[in-house]
Amino acid sequence: MVDTDVRLGLSGSDLAIRDRTFKNDLARVDESSLTPDNCAEFKALAEAGLAGEVVLGKRFRDQDFLTVRKDRIVDILTTLRDDADCDYRLVSDIFGVDLLGFDREPRFEVIYSLYSLSTNRRIVIKAQVDEDEAAIDTVSDVWPAANWPEREIFDLFGIHFKGHPDLRRILMPDDWVGHPLRKDYPLGGEEVEFSHNVRGREENLPG
């Protein structure tokens, strides 16, 4: 099989430069910290009495990230939706992350990608979720569109969304055991059915 980088025409020196650039980018993640003075969203949360819920605020490549505690996630996201300077009326995506193996706690994050149609700004909110209590409040009352992505996270990561109006599996069968996107989920699969192996089974069927 031809290596993807070879097919893209990348030489050894190209790969070395790309690898070095990537590592430098990672090293720069901590260069720019967010505060209420340089981040409108952080300021809105501070004015709403929610600054203490912000664990970490970073700006990387002109994208702002706020890591928050999960306990008041509804208040946090409602503030970002309703504040005139933020006006995040659209939740572009909600997804889960399993940080197992990264030597970080807590293990899970629920990530909300928000977009403001009036300011053309985006922000990413990361809510920390413990493994021992893998649950967080639903934000389906903040944005009705959150309903299905929360079900997907529940299905694939096993994170429970408290107060969700219809929390059940959305991709896996109802009787499926486990949550396939957890990093400790056992790898495996079912035999792919072709004519040669299906035919043998059909011939052995009774009657």
Q: Are 144 and 89 in contact (CB under 8 A)?
A: no
**Spatial CB neighbours of 37, under 8 Å, sequence gap ≥ 6:** 43
DSSP 30: G
Residue 4 inside a domain? The answer is no
pLDDT digits (tens, 9 = 90+) for 160-172: 999 999 999 999 9
Residue 150 inside a domain? The answer is yes
Residue 192 inside a domain? The answer is no
Whether 191 has a pLDDT exceeding 60, the answer reads: yes
Q: What is the CA radius of gyration of the chain?
A: 22
Lowest mean pLDDT, pick from 56-70, 80-94, 186-200 = 186-200
Q: What is the pLDDT of residue 16?
A: 61
Residue 187 inside a domain? The answer is no
Residue-number span of the structural domain to which 117 is assigned: 29-181
Residue 13 inside a domain? The answer is no
Total number of domains in the chain: 1
Whether 139 has a pLDDT exceeding 80, the answer reads: yes
Banded pLDDT at 187 (limits 50, 70, 90)? confident
Residue 15 inside a domain? The answer is no
Residue 134 inside a domain? The answer is yes
Residue 10 inside a domain? The answer is no
Whether 34 has a pLDDT exceeding 60, the answer reads: yes
Whether 1 has a pLDDT exceeding 50, the answer reads: no
Q: Which residue has the tokens 């996201």?
A: 77
CATH of the domain at 116: 3.30.460.80
| 40-47 and 73-82 helices, crossing angle to 10° | 120
